[in-house]
Structures are given as C-alpha cells and as structure tokens.
Structure 1
C-alpha cells in the first residue's frame, strides 16, 4: 500500500503538496470565492487519503491516491468538514455540492436584537445563525447585520451560492480564524511587503529581447518605448497613493519601488511601522485588511483602501483633473487614461492593483473571458471588505 505524507496549506485556495509519493494522482476541483486567510498548515499521514474541507464558505476537495486500481479497494478516507450551522434545534448545515452550491434549508432571513449580548444577530426562520465553528455571530451595527441577512435572504430558492456572500465570509472569518492567527496574519503581511505589487515596477529602460526572437533594432526600440511609458504610468498612478500610505504609517516609513526581479526590499523601519499598524487593529479590521492586501496583491494598496486614501485621487481621476495622474506630460496622462477601457467611471480600487495588466491589455489586446472576468472578480474582492468596514461604522 502506498504510504505518503501530505502537507495541506490553507490560503486563498486549497493546495495539496505531496512530500513523498510515487505514482500518485492529485485532483483539485474549482474553489469558490472565499476571504483569503494567512497560511496555516496541516500534516496528515495515510494512504491513500481523501481530504475534504469547507473553509470560509468555499469548497475545495483534493483526492490523493495511487494510480494503481489494485490498491483502490484498500483505500481509507478521512474527512474534515466545517459547515455553516444555526441553532441546534434546527440542525441545518451547509453541505456543498461539486459546483460550490448547497440546497436552501430556510425560508426567510432576518435580524434580531439580543439584549443580553447587546448586539444584533442574523436569524434563519427565527433561529440564530452561527459561524462555521459554531461560535456566536453578533454585530454591533444593525446595518451590517441587515446586509449579512440580505445575502442569505436573496439566495436562490433552490440553491445557496456561498461565493455570493462575501460579507458573511468576512464576518465569520473574523470570529473563527483571526483571533487565533493574529501574529501569523501580521507576519504574513510583512513577508509580502517585500514583493508588493505596487512597489515592483517595470524597468524604465526595458530589457533586451531574447536572440531567439531575432529582434530587429526597430522591434527593440518599440519595446523600450513601451517599457519606459509603463514605468512612468505606474509612477504617475501609484506614487501619490504610496505617499499617503507613508503618512498614515508614520515613524519614518518609506515605501521604495524597485524594478528588480528579486522584489522590492523595504527597510526595517517600514516593516515595524506596518507591523504596528496591523497589530493596532481589532479582529474584524485585521480580517478586512488581510482580505484587501491579498486581493490587491499589495500591502501598501491594502492599507490605502482600508483608510480610503484613494478617494480624493479618485475624484480627480473620474473628473479628468490635471492633478491626477501625477505628471506634467499630457501625452503620458492620456496614455494612463486609456486604462479605463472606455469606462469613465472606472475607479481606482479596481484599477490600481491592475495597472500593469491593463497596460498590457491596451497595447496587446484583451482576452475575452479572461481580463473582463478578472476585473469583475476583483471588484467583489476589493469592495466587499471596504463595504464591510463602512457598514461597521453605521448604527
């Protein structure tokens, strides 16, 4: 019988890495939307192994076993499940199908005020909703509770689609995961600060094309021109945001971009400033910040959107003000505005994490079913934590 050890890393998706195996097969069906979490690992030793988990309302299944059919009859299985549950008298749970949906088990969702907890709760057919780990899920803000209840209320009559419930995912994650992983989350942000997407820039002078392409001098000159333009557009769009983030962090924090392939190393002072800022947040705020940083692939942009530092720039961007992008070159400003793709209302929270990708799409073409879906997905991933933070401030 095949004996193997698996290391399961739970991040924004579920990945299964065989450390020791022979003739093994790994299959991982599509995982639905979830709020990204900082890595935690789980080691299991069995042969073969079937591992099933539901985390943050996303289903991800991985099957590991020998490719030999003669061993299939001797297979063993082990299942770990976390389900959305309500009060024990209902006993309902969210058993996800292969497509990431579940049968709807309730008629109406609502909100109630609990005097003993001095907080609001979401109810399903009158029973109090709990987190996947069966912990109480309470809200100080009635507005946020109503928004979460609306996610449950407006599910399809035949199926629940958890990937359309980002506010519920953030809320439950802030209760079930963040309080027990705060240090891991903070240090994970520090780790990724040195490969921050907003700090890793395109080289201003371009790079030589590979000889295998047999580039002409004209080809190389064209690539150098585009590379230089992209570098300037990145600076014009991102640098004003970075300066605002530095002001929020204080304590000598300086965000230094780099065009190195090895990332953009930051100073210890900047690390300490980011660490202090993250540790000063409560569990719900830290969950939202972690989700923003993961979605933007940038700690700096995550902090900027967390504090809504982009809003004055967003107004200038939408109104075609000369104040933003930050350049005196009218031609370069026009090049930057091409990234709107004909939508004058496209906002910076969606554009800033995708500056380089949108630039490539403008110059080399859009992949239908690729770039457009990525933009829509990013809107959900970015605006959900921002809405969560705003709704928490409402009564």
Structure 2
C-alpha cells in the first residue's frame, strides 16, 4: 500500500507526556522537552493546560497536523510574542470594540434582528456593568463612534492580563468578530462554544434560508473546532 504524502512533518515520537519544571509545566516527547518556534522553553502556567497540549500531540497520527494543533499554537504565541506586542494587542482589542459584531443589528428581517438583539444585548449589558465597556448598538453595518472611555477600559483590561489569557482573548476576538464576546469568554461569563454560535446568528439564518454548500459547512466546522479548543484553553487556565 502506498503511504500517504503530506507537506506536514511525520510523527517522530511515541509518546507525549508532561513534566513539572521551574516556573510551571512543560510537555515532553519521548522525554525531550518541546521548544517554541523561537527556541524558548514551552513553560506552561497550569498542569491542566500541559495535559491538554500533550493530548493534542498524542492525537497526531502518521503526520503532525500543525494547523490543527490550536493549543500548541496559542502557547507558542503567548511565550514568543506577547511581551513584545502587549501594547499592540491591547490596541487591537480596542479596535474590535469600534466595529464589534454584536453592536450591529440587522436592518431586516425583523425575525433576524430580534434573534440578534435577544442574544447580543445581554452580552453588551454585561460588558458595560462588569468591565465598564459600554458599546453603542446600531442598526445596519455602518459603524458608530464608540465612547473613548469604553475603548480605554477594554484596552486597560487587556493590558492587565497575563500573556496566556491575553493570547486567548485576542484569538477569541478574531474568531468571533467581537471584543465583547471574547471578553465574556475570557471572564468565564460565557463558554467559547456558545459564544461562537452566538457570533454566527446571521450566518446561520442565511444558511437556513438559502442553504449552505459543502465548502461553507467545512469552514464553519473548522471554526467550531477552534472555538472548542479555545474553551479548553480558558478552562485549563482556570
């Protein structure tokens, strides 16, 4: 039988496990510690996260699917990039607030607008009451200027997070198209899987009305798996 070809590296280890090290936990492959792309030690802040990343490596088969190893990639970003990019990441979160998905209610039909607002307004209220991030909802796709104090509140919240939580927060904002949903997940006010479904109310409504091709279904499922991994990430961080 012909072996499958792949651009991904072949699995070169038998077993991934975790070890306690100075400063936290790490993952070892056949006893050898994993390094990040920048050759830093993969030092993880929680045993539960180390176990989840080890499970990700153990789940690989003949080839290592690096693109699907979401937890490993998030850890690499947290270790290699965040401390040099912390201000930029906080600014990016504020920019998500300026065009936050859940502040844009559909003009029509009424059924969709009601579904969006019933799911999104509680998240907006929570963000304002809990974090001081009060964002103004609008009808349609044209963004409305958001209060400077709210943008700064979001920015300061991001700056106060450790590298691992900040990495997850920005990843969530990109996945959901919403800083507020990302903040709700990071603060454990909503789980990541539910936040993803809430973020795609319009998309799901359109699919119900007009159908969805296989490519779109596959893309949605891939993003759903990212949300699941994000949920594991935050639960592991505690």
TM-score under structure 1 length normalisation: 0.56
* 18, 23, 32: which one aligns with 1:127: 32
Deviation for aligned residue 1:261: 3.6
Deviation for aligned residue 1:260: 4.3
State the alpha-carbon separation in 2 of the partners of residues 389 and 308 from structure 1.
Answer: 8
Q: In the alignment, what sits opposite 2:213?
A: 368
State the alpha-carbon separation in 2 of the partners of residues 306 and 100 from structure 1.
Answer: 34
1:295 matched to 2:202? The reply is no
Q: In the alignment, what sits opposite 1:20?
A: none
Instruction: Specify the SS of the correspondent of 2:20.
Output: strand
State the alpha-carbon separation in 1 of the partners of residues 7 and 138 from structure 2.
Answer: 40
Deviation for aligned residue 1:243: 0.9
Q: In the alignment, what sits opposite 1:148?
A: 53
Deviation for aligned residue 1:118: 4.4
Relative contact order higher in (CA < 8 Å, ≥ 6 apart): 2
Does the 8 Å contact 1:278/1:286 carry over to 2?
Answer: yes
Alignment of 1:215-294 (within 5 A): 227-250=109-132, 253-294=133-174
Deviations 1:257-289 (A, max 9, x none): 112443232111111111111111111110000
1:385 matched to 2:230? The reply is yes
Deviation for aligned residue 1:140: 3.1
Highest Rg: 1 or 2? 1
1:139–1:362 distance in 2 versus 1, CA, 3 Å: same
Number of corresponding residues: 234
* 83, 89, 102: which one aligns with 2:9: 102
Query: Which 4+ runs in 1 deviate beyond 3 A?
Result: none
Which structure has more helix as a fraction of its residues? 2
State the alpha-carbon separation in 2 of the partners of residues 165 and 240 from structure 1.
Answer: 32
Does the 8 Å contact 2:96/2:173 carry over to 1?
Answer: no
Instruction: Specify the SS of the correspondent of 1:138.
Output: coil
Deviation for aligned residue 1:99: 5.5
Instruction: Specify the SS of the correspondent of 2:28.
Output: strand
1:160 matched to 2:64? The reply is yes
RMSD value, Cα: 2.0
Deviation for aligned residue 1:254: 1.7
State the alpha-carbon separation in 2 of the partners of residues 188 and 350 from structure 1.
Answer: 20
Deviation for aligned residue 1:100: 5.1
Instruction: Specify the SS of the correspondent of 1:139.
Output: coil
Unaligned runs of 5+ in 1: 1-97, 207-226, 315-346
Unaligned runs of 5+ in 2: none
State the alpha-carbon separation in 1 of the partners of residues 129 and 134 from structure 2.
Answer: 9
TM-score under structure 2 length normalisation: 0.90
State the alpha-carbon separation in 1 of the partners of residues 188 and 200 from structure 2.
Answer: 18
State the alpha-carbon separation in 2 of the partners of residues 261 and 149 from structure 1.
Answer: 42
